[in-house]
Structure 1
Amino acid sequence: MIDVADHLAAVLDAVEPLDPESRDVAAARGRVLRHPVRAAVDVPAFDCSAMDGFAVRDLAPATLRVVADLPAGTDLDPRMDAGDAARIMTGAPVPTDALAVVPFEDTARGLAGGVESVTIVVSPRGPGAHVRRRGSDVRAGDLVVADGLRVTAARAGAIAASGVGTVTVSRAARVAVVSTGSELVAPGAPLARGRIPESNSVLLAGLAEEAGAEVVLRTSVGDEGDGPRRAIAAAEAAGADVVVFSGGVSAGAYEVVKNTLGDLMRFDRVRMQPGKPQGFGRTPEGTLLFGLPGNPVSAAVSFELFVRPALRALEGDVDLGRAAVRVALAAGWRARPERVQYVPVALDRRDPSRWLARPVERGTRGFGDADGLAVVPPGETDLVAGDLVSVTLW
């Protein structure tokens, strides 16, 4: 058997990042930046008011003459002499002659006051009070978002605010998902003796899409014949970068992936539970091939450990993993000396200061309630309730 880290390393060594493309920043959310984004303009682009109120020259309480009305978007820069004030809205340019902004609530009548004069009752704390200086957030040329980071809504907003309209990102990885097994029928179809609903392609396609990939093919093949090769040909015709097989990779007599793709894939036993049988390879055209176990939970765990990092590496993402936390087990767990175990757990968050990880019911129904995977390292000593484990969060 080989270690999980060795199998993952072999996968990542075969990954070549996808070609970048240009996108409008509004259409780039969810994609990975391939070049750093630097501000095109100062933010703010001018000294502007941080409050609705009055721009003033005088810092002492006084009744001042209102000489201008400045809404956001105005290009006015009125002259202000001693005793003058300008009514100003948040975001409007502060007059060159003004020293500070007094909020409406620090005046005698606030917004209800007259347009000709205003009485200041609370002095501003000093020059620059409630004024956002030009470039105080970002200067033109400053780094806004580094390359290798995924564009979130907040990052897209920061990029747009810095005056950049187009970014260079990776396209989504294209994935084909292929379930194997002559026993499979479509979900909802009548079940004859020995047949079961096909669910792995639904599960794995969903995981691929949640990882940011585009699913271009979802199909199943039987346990005999050259179905896997035909599926690869169809996947490559659809532009797939990755083909994910489930089933057909173990030690049985009808392991169709293992029996037909031995020239393209290597099949190993990995020191993990679930998911010991794993296959991986690459076609002459460069398409990545994954062979995952057929058990749905084993397939999902294997996807998390190997396929998902590969999809993110294809995009050039600097963060290949998921967030993990240290959580106390709610119940004991038997250790395995030769394998690391990945245990689907639900998190009890009722006590914010002490989350608990509770193993879910075995099988696909319980797996649907899991919040993540608890990692139980190999060992001779069983874990007991209260022991801390690392939980990878979904």
Structure 2
Amino acid sequence: MRSIAEHRRRIEALGITARSRSVDLTAAIGAVLGEAVRTSGPLPAFDVAAVDGFAVRQGDLGVDAELSVPGTCVAGPIATAISVSPGQAVQIMTGAPVPPGADTVVPVEDTSGFVDNFATARVRIRTSPKRGANIRARASDIGAHEILLHAGTTLSHNHIGALSALGLTRVQIRSCLRVAVVPTGNELVRPGEPLLPGQIHESNAPMIVADLARCGAEVRREDVVGDDVESLRATPGRCADWADLIVTTGGVSAGTEDVVRSALDDGHAEFVSVAMKPGKPQGAGRFDGVPIISLPGNPVAAFVSYELFVRPFVRGALGCDTVDRPTSEVVLDSPTIAGRPGMMQFRLGRRLGSRVVVSGSASSGSISSMASSDCLIAVGEGGATRGSAATVWMTGVG
């Protein structure tokens, strides 16, 4: 029997790796930045007026100083160079470059008597702010060649705005981890298709594909593969031409119809029993050089196994800051969960403030338990009683 930690180390040793690629900024939201982004020049690139008002020399200010106004500066391309000489004040708009000679901007509300008769323009300054007031100085935000965003940053819309401010249109991301998801089983039918007697709708692939996509992976969902050894060897072979990781569900136990094990247990993958419930049978290895992880097929077992053995390593390959779900210590508000010697149990639960209740039954095929849960309750071999402390993994978060 292999421990959970040992099996996680086995999967870590597979070396799941995401490739870097360049994408348009508009397509980068939610992706993980593949390399640090540095500024080419300082921001702001020049001294900028932070308010509408008058650019002046602070030494010219006093009580009701009256200054001549030789011109106006507005935001945008500079058509005519203008400077501030002693005794002058240049009218300036928010966002405009501060003209040479000026070291302070006086807000327009602190002035009066501005007269422009096209011959002599003058303004009265009623206050005397400190030198540098109302100016966003060159490089005051960030200097040249400094890191604006670090590699591993998950890009949000605010990051897209910041990158655009550097003049960038493309960015290098690490979210090109291609994952092929292969559901298996004669009894499975894609959702939306009619069922024949003895068939059920396949739910593992949509569940796994949805979360992998949210993590930032590029995912391809294969058609359901029946319980046929040759088909099960051909499908991973086809996926290996495209994928960086292959995930299969179903057919990993020791039964005569567990053909994933039969198809891959010939040097491609190793199948073991892990000391956990649900999800005891697990497989991992390489197919044509591509890492392959084989999960059990019952929905709850597939869900728990994905959380422990797939999701953390995908997020790690994508360079995410955190790979495991957030955990919380809460109080169990459900009947006693009996322990199993040498086994870790995971029960679906629902967090209610500082308490947690078990969702539905312990069956690894319980769909109602899946529907009503937002966390996993980790139960050690000693079990758990009502009112005892419990550790929960918040699967509905992150």
Change (3 A) 1:225 1:380: closer
Cα offset, 1:183, TM superposition: 1.3
Cα root mean square deviation, aligned: 3.0
CA distance 1:88–1:176, change in 2 (3 Å): same
1:185–1:25 Cα change, 3 Å: closer
Q: Structure 1 residues 16 and 246, CA, compared in 2 at 3 Å: closer, same or farther? A: closer
Q: Which residue among 131, 138, 149 is the counterpart of 2:153?
A: 149
Kept in 1: contact 2:229–2:262 (CA 8 A): no
- Paired residues of 1:12 and 1:313 also in contact (CA < 8 A): no
Evaluate the alpha carbon distance shift between residue 164 and residue 254 of structure 1 in structure 2; reply closer, same or farther with a 3 A threshold.
same
Instruction: Work out the CA distance in 1 between the residues paired with 2:199 and 2:62.
Output: 86
Q: Distance in 1 between matches of 2:175 and 2:355?
A: 38
Tell me, which stretches of 5 or more residues in structure 1 are unaligned?
349-353
Distance 2:127 2:357 in 1: 57
CA distance in 1, matches of 2:88, 2:338: 78
Which whole-Å CA distance do the structure 2 matches of 1:106 and 1:356 have between them?
Answer: 59
- Asked whether 1:68 is paired with 2:71, we answer yes
Matched, 1:87 2:91: yes
Pairing 1:291–2:294 present: yes
Question: In the alignment, which residue of structure 2 is the partner of 1:204?
Answer: 208
* 1:1-394 mapped onto 2 (5 Å cutoff): 1-58=1-58, 59-60=61-62, 62=64, 63-75=66-78, 78-107=82-111, 116-124=121-129, 126-170=130-174, 172-237=176-241, 239-263=242-266, 264-284=268-288, 286-315=289-318, 317-319=319-321, 321-322=323-324, 324-329=326-331, 331-332=333-334, 334=337, 336=339, 338-348=342-352, 356-362=355-361, 363-371=366-374, 373-380=375-382, 382-385=384-387, 387=389, 389-392=391-394, 393-394=397-398
1: CA distance between counterparts of 2:350 and 2:153?
29
Question: 2:160 is aligned with what amino acid?
Answer: A
Deviation at 1:61, TM superposition (A): 5.2
Residues paired across the two proteins, number: 381
Q: Secondary structure at the match of 2:292?
A: strand
Does the 8 Å contact 2:190/2:224 carry over to 1? no
| CA offsets 1:208-242 (integer angstroms, 9 cap, x no match) | 222222223421122244221121133234x1222
| Superposed displacement of residue 42, structure 1 | 0.6
SS in 2 for 1:380: coil
Q: Which moved more, 1:209-218 or 1:27-36?
A: 27-36
Conserved? CA contact 2:175–2:216, under 8 Å: no
SS of equivalent residue, structure 1 residue 389: strand
* SS in structure 2 of the partner of residue 280 of structure 1: strand
Q: What is the rounded CA distance, in whole Å, between the counterparts of 2:357 and 2:89 in structure 1?
A: 64
Q: Is the 8 A contact 1:267 1:280 kept in 2?
A: yes
Paired residues of 1:249 and 1:279 also in contact (CA < 8 A): yes
Larger radius of gyration: 2
CA gap of 1:21–1:189, structure 2 versus 1, over 3 A, is closer
Distance 1:328 1:70, change over 3 A: farther
How far is 1:119 from its partner?
Answer: 4.7
In the superposition, relative to structure 1, how do residues 25 and 344 fare at CA in structure 2: closer, same or farther (>3 Å)?
A: same
Change (3 A) 1:232 1:136: same
One-letter identity of the residue aligned with 1:250: S
Give the match's secondary structure for 1:281.
strand
CA offsets per residue over residues 318-359 of structure 1, 9 Å max, x none? 5351451535346246363533344444444xxxxx655454
Amino acid at match of 1:271: A
TM-score w.r.t. the length of structure 2 is 0.83
Deviations 1:76-132 (A, max 9, x none): 5522234433333332211232222233444459xxx766555545543x1112211
Query: Are the aligned partners of 1:335 and 1:376 in contact in 2 as well (CA < 8 Å)?
Result: no
TM-score (norm 1): 0.84
SS of aligned partner of 2:302 = helix
Q: CA deviation at 1:381?
A: 5.6
Give unpaired runs (5+ residues) of structure 2: none
Q: Percent identity among equivalent residues?
A: 35
Residue 378 of structure 1 deviates from its aligned partner by 1.6
Relative distance call for 1:301 and 1:323 in structure 2 (3 A) is closer
CA drift of 1:182 comes to 1.3
Q: Secondary structure at the match of 1:67?
A: coil
Partner of 1:351: none
Asked whether the 8 Å contact 1:74–1:93 carries over to 2, the reply is no
The code of the aligned residue for 1:175 comes to V
Compared CA separation, residues 184 and 379, structure 1 to 2 (3 A): closer
Q: Indicate conservation of the 8 Å contact 1:205/1:218, yes or no.
A: no
User: Structure 1 residues 388, 181: CA separation in 2 closer, same or farther (over 3 Å shift)?
Assistant: closer
8 Å Cα contact 1:49/1:93 also seen in 2: yes
Once residues 87 and 368 of structure 1 are traced to their aligned partners in structure 2, the CA distance between those partners, rounded to angstroms, is: 64
Offset at 1:44? Answer: 0.9
